[in-house]
Homo-oligomer: A and B are copies of this chain.
């Protein structure tokens, strides 16, 4: 077992005990709310944690890319929801190959998308489950009204090789009440037509501790970031810094002025994601430090408010603004406890861009 202090930087550390508590706490909240949990693995991209999420009670996992689905299926995960429109012959072929070996469901928000699926999946004895994606306020993908959701569901139901799986949304952060209202309206429309809605799936870590407000409407919840948490979730009130399992270990490589420290973690380690925040992360050892700038390989820290200032060669641990894209930048992450490295994992689904 090696020590954190012996790692070369920048490096990604995952505090295993904190991650475990985050996983358990969310599963307990879901159990209490009567919701199934279907964690989004985009955050960790690791079969190690996907298996652990399922072992703790998750009904399956969520993936965002076919490539992520393939990695997870290879690792033995066998109940997947792919929350992305699959368009084009090559990707439909890959989806078909996945459907032949695991349970995988997808989403659609247009006739064009459903037509592609319907032309590829034609076996009524093993239909592909398709959710209608609903834009409940996020302004991204999704049908624009409950009526449009009903229309698209009818098209799915009419396709012999497809099965209507239900409604799916990714709610805008902090707008879960509006999302719940939208979904309830849609459900009422389906009920009035006697069309069963097998599942209603919503999610998002920012509103995870309001999960119970979705119960009675939604049946499943798909949080991703909750396993690691990050500075944006702290800002959203969903976590404290003590709940943040992922940190970027960096070395102070320059102290050019009294007020400036430069670390070897820039945008290629922390990403440029701001998510509405000021600055690029939170330095655990120097709460008064402000990461004021990033170039690709340098982070510039204003240490003028720090009573004690870091010296060249010092190690610091940074909670990034957004943990999900950070894991996508590193081939490996290190599972740690206190000062020790317990295990180093390859990020199996890193860079699965398509």
**Contact indicator B87/A354 (Cβ below 8 Å):** no
Interface residue? A171 (CB, 8 A): no
**Contact indicator A254/B139 (Cβ below 8 Å):** no
28 A-B contacts (beta carbon < 8 Å): A8-B88, A8-B91, A10-B353, A11-B353, A42-B296, A84-B253, A87-B251, A87-B312, A87-B313, A88-B313, A109-B256, A110-B255, A110-B312, A112-B311, A113-B254, A113-B312, A140-B256, A140-B262, A141-B254, A142-B254, A142-B256, A143-B256, A268-B328, A268-B353, A269-B353, A272-B272, A272-B273, A329-B351
Given contacts A110-B254, A256-B109, A268-B328, contact A300 B139 (CB under 8 A): yes
Interface residue? A324 (CB, 8 A): yes
Interface residue? A325 (CB, 8 A): yes
Given contacts A269-B353, A331-B351, A353-B10, contact A85 B254 (CB under 8 A): yes
Residues of chain A in range 281-327 having any CB-CB distance to chain B below 8 Å: 293, 295-298, 300, 311-313, 324-325
Contact of A313 (CB < 8 Å), options: B112, B251, B331: B112
Bound Cα distance A91, B293 (Å): 24
Given contacts A91-B8, A330-B353, A351-B329, contact A296 B64 (CB under 8 A): yes
Bound Cα distance A65, B298 (Å): 11
How many A residues, CB 8 Å from partner?
A: 60
Contact of A140 (CB < 8 Å), options: B142, B252, B295, B311: B295
Residues of chain A in range 219-270 having any CB-CB distance to chain B below 8 Å: 251-257, 260, 262, 264, 267-269
**Contact indicator A298/B141 (Cβ below 8 Å):** yes
List of B residues within 8 angstroms of A142 by Cβ: 254, 256
Interface residue? A144 (CB, 8 A): yes
Bound Cα distance A273, B273 (Å): 8
Q: How far is the CB of A313 from chain B (nearest CB, A)?
A: 5
Given contacts A257-B144, A262-B140, A297-B65, contact A8 B354 (CB under 8 A): yes
**Contact indicator B253/A85 (Cβ below 8 Å):** yes
Instruction: Tell me which of A142, A143, A295 has the highest count of chain B C-beta atoms within 10 A of its own C-beta.
Output: A295
Bound Cα distance A177, B331 (Å): 40
Residues of chain A in range 85-101 having any CB-CB distance to chain B below 8 Å: 85, 87-88, 90-91
**Contact indicator B300/A140 (Cβ below 8 Å):** yes
A350 closest partner in B (C-beta):
B351
Residues of chain A in range 48-83 having any CB-CB distance to chain B below 8 Å: 64-65
Bound Cα distance A139, B273 (Å): 21
Bound Cα distance A262, B84 (Å): 11
List of B residues within 8 angstroms of A212 by Cβ: none
**Contact indicator B312/A330 (Cβ below 8 Å):** no
Interface residue? A271 (CB, 8 A): yes
Interface residue? A9 (CB, 8 A): yes
